[in-house]
Structure 1
Amino acid sequence: MMCILTMIILTILAFFIGLIVFVICGKETDVYDSISKLAWYKLIIKLVYKLVKCRKQGNLYLDKSLVYIADTNTNFTLALSVRNHKVTVNGLRIDKDHLAKYKALCRYNPNDGEVPLCYAETLFMKPLIALITSSKFALSPIGLIHIRQNIKQWIPLQEYMKAKFTLELSVKQYRQNERGIEVDINLRTMVGSTCVWEGTMTLLSRAKQGKSRGRPERRNHDKEIIYRFDDDFEVPASCGVDYAKLTGDWNPHHLYRWSAWLLGYQKPIAHGMWTLSRAIAKLQERFEITLDGRYEVSCAFKRPLFMPGSAVMKFDDGSMISEYSDCNVLVEEKGTSIPHLTATIKSL
């Protein structure tokens, strides 16, 4: 009996070891015929392998066989542009149930017929993991922090509810400064040869000598902006898990108190893109406006927004958004004026 049990255990171990070797040593793919080709078990195995292989934050792990172009940007000690790191996923459609759940979580009007400005980014999580776990990606996945986001909606996605999309991700540039290494990742949602939605995600791999997560001073960078309106909004404790279920962003610091504590946070923190989308939803609700044209959103993520919690949103007159007039948005901690994010929205 013990012999049979031992054989079963050894067979199972051999299967999993073989699977891991197959995934790690298999040929990397840059183009996927469908999102289903990006299997979670493969992405997780590659993620764990990359975490072990590239253990240090704030370091560039450059493959000499890849082509990089040195940049002369004087604001950084080193800037490298990338030519050949891209992931493409074909044949994706918008799921109406998924969209409805997203709008409910971020509190959009469920009957307005719109696809929110930030929604398209929820489609990119699997391809993004494939991008950062590939051998071409020059940073460790450990501790990557989402610090900035730019979104350009060229054509409203609701016009293509029955169309098949192609998702394109590409690494644009690595930049080194006193905080560590920044990387820009371009996201594009295509219908045929037409780009309908575009985003640039900036991530930071913090160096050891970078600035700490100590308690920040009161903000002073917004003194020139006079916000005419303000509103409160609550952040429920379940927000992180609910958003993770929708997007696939299961970073532990967004989930539970114990998982956030393991990463140095007292409580779990809300996803930055949820906070931005929730703020836009409140803006649209306050002024009863639609954002179904060509718009650009530029956002900087500042400090964590803890869950459960509450925040204050301050903003300009949203009904005045135009090509010549930005709407400024600030989300800050209630009672302390510590900013969670700042953003501008304008028509293109």
Structure 2
Amino acid sequence: MDHFSTFIAVVSGVTVAYLFHSVFYTSHISFKTHTVFDSRRHLPGYVYLMTRYVYESLRKKRGQMWKNKSTNDELVFTLINCRFDAVSLRRFCSASGYGWDYPDSVFRDVPLCYPEFLFTRLLSMIVCSERFKLSPLGLLSVRETLSLTEPVDELKRGTFSLQARVLEYRTVSAGVEVDLTLTASRHKQTVWSSTLTLLSPKNKFRHEAQPDVEITHDPVSERCVSLAVPWSTGVSCAWVFCDLSPLHVFSWLRFTRPTTHPLWMFSRCMAEMEKHNGVEVVRAPLTVSVCYKQPVSFPRKFTIRVSKNTTETSSTASFSMEDHRTRALYLSGQIKQQSKEKAE
């Protein structure tokens, strides 16, 4: 019996040591010593990043910039040798309103928002870094400007790289804002890029203080879509988009109402835009401006409005998402088509 107990203790110790080395130590060394990562090799794991998320949330205060020597360094992470993954695309399309069979449909382009979905790990690494000046807890997406210079399908032609970089911090009345630039490129040529603005609020976030993207829906072309979203969708979105916030973990246990990921709102509007105005409305080259007004919790019923306004000199499309009952605005945005000459 003593020998059996000793054997169990030894096996347990070896297992714990192996798990610690593979899950934490390897991720920690890689995270601390590299800024360029190869997608074919080991990346910092989500368990390790979740631990860092909690640690950085405890040591940094919301709505204030954390200042020390390390935070003055440039913060950028690059992922190279990425390849198109049909399984990943299927998960994204299934959760974002395109349908589980979207990737298999004939003559269908890769969704406009899909590259941002690929940045999930890099964004997690950015906000969990000790060089990031803000607390990762409670970060809110407030604005986004997306530029598409080449069709997203270019990423399917071979290897490509992803880069996430902190651009600048700004102190505002509601707290501190930070601009992050996301770039997907192939052969050093930018295909897709986005500037995402996050807010670390001082106190309770007041969405009235956030500026709107000025949009006007054309009454002739406007289409309204009512969308009832159950609680289960919030859980599936948290799983698919791999959000690091512990609130999503608690929502799985029904401790709190799950909130929607901003990318889900954006991509859902783009899916309805394609359905009602055709895929040409999201073809490159273009620029999309988005304003996220406030977080949304499930279950809830939404109204998505999309419209298109084409003149001899310009082509724009507008979209918005609001509460079906109160008409409270959650998201508004506009797509502006560009000429090939201007894009170049």
User: If the length of structure 1 is used for normalisation, what is the TM-score?
Assistant: 0.80
Taking the aligned partners of 2:107 and 2:322, their CA distance within structure 1 comes to 28
Q: Which residue of 2 aligns with 1:37?
A: 42
In 1, the alpha carbon distance for the partners of 2:162 and 2:336 equals 24
Structure 1 match to 2:134: 139
Q: Which moved more, 1:309-318 or 1:333-342?
A: 309-318
How many residues are paired up? 322
> Match of 2:53, as an amino acid?
L
Could you tell me which amino acid in structure 2 is paired with residue 276 of structure 1?
F
Residue 115 of structure 1 corresponds to 110
How far the C-alpha of 1:93 sits from its partner, in A, is: 0.9
Query: Which residue in the other structure is 1:46 paired with?
Result: 52
SS at match of 1:59: coil
Superposed displacement of residue 122, structure 1: 0.7
- Decide whether the 8 Å contact of 1:28 with 1:134 is kept in 2: no
Root-mean-square deviation (Å) = 3.2
Query: Residue 224 and residue 32 in structure 1: after superposition, are their counterparts in 2 closer, same or farther (change >3 A)?
Result: closer
Give the equivalent residue in structure 2 for 1:299: 290
Corresponding residue to 1:63 among 58, 62, 68: 68
Matched residue, 1:194: 189
Amino acid at match of 1:241: V
Distance 1:314 1:327 in 2: 11
- Structure 1 residue 197, shift from structure 2 partner: 0.4
Residue type matched to 2:243 in 1? D
Q: Distance in 2 between matches of 1:64 and 1:90?
A: 28
What stretches of structure 2 of length at least 5 have no aligned partner?
339-344
TM-superposed deviation, 1:271: 1.3
Report matched runs for 1:182-221 at 5 Å: 182-207=177-202, 210-212=203-205
The residue type equivalent to 1:281 in the other structure is: A
8 Å Cα contact 1:85/1:137 also seen in 2: yes
Distance of aligned partners of 1:100 and 1:222 in 2 relative to their CA distance in 1, 3 Å threshold: closer
Which structure carries more helix by proportion? 2
1:78 corresponding residue in structure 2: none
8 A contact 1:254–1:271 mirrored in 2: no
The gaps in structure 1 that reach 5 residues or longer are 68-82
Tell me by how many angstroms 1:139 deviates. Answer: 1.2
Find the residue that maps to 2:179 and give its secondary structure. Answer: strand
Q: Which residue of 1 aligns with 2:234?
A: 240
Q: In structure 2, which of residues 303, 316, 324 is the aligned counterpart of residue 326 of structure 1? A: 316
Q: Alpha-carbon deviations, 1:214-258, whole Å to 9, x = none?
A: xx77x9968983452222123243323333443322434456646
The structure-2 alpha-carbon separation of the partners of 1:199 and 1:212, relative to structure 1 and needing over 3 Å to count, comes to closer
2:146 matches 1:151: yes
1:35 shift after superposition: 5.8
Q: What's the counterpart of residue 75 of structure 1?
A: none
Distance in 2, matches of 1:116 and 1:174, equals: 30
User: Residue 278 of structure 1 corresponds to which residue in structure 2?
Assistant: 268
**Quick one: which amino acid aligns to residue 336 of structure 1?**
T
- Relative to 1, partners in 2 of residues 1:256 and 1:132: Cα closer, same or farther, differing over 3 Å? closer
Question: 2-side partners of 1:37 and 1:329: how far apart?
Answer: 40
How far the C-alpha of 1:323 sits from its partner, in A, is 7.4
1:74-93 to 2 correspondences below 5 Å? 84-93=74-83
| Matching residue of 2:305 | 314
Distance in 1 (CA, whole Å) between partners of 2:158 and 2:324 is 43
Does the residue aligned with 1:166 lie in a helix, a strand or coil? strand
2:165 matched to 1:165?
no
Which residue type is aligned with residue 310 of structure 1? K
Alpha-carbon distance in 2 for matches of 1:259, 1:150: 35
Match status 1:101 vs 2:91: yes
Task: Answer whether contact 1:321 1:345 (CA < 8 A) is retained.
Answer: no
Determine if contact 2:62/2:135 at 8 Å carries over to the other structure.
yes
Helix, strand or coil for the counterpart of 1:234? strand
Distance 2:135 2:44 in 1: 21
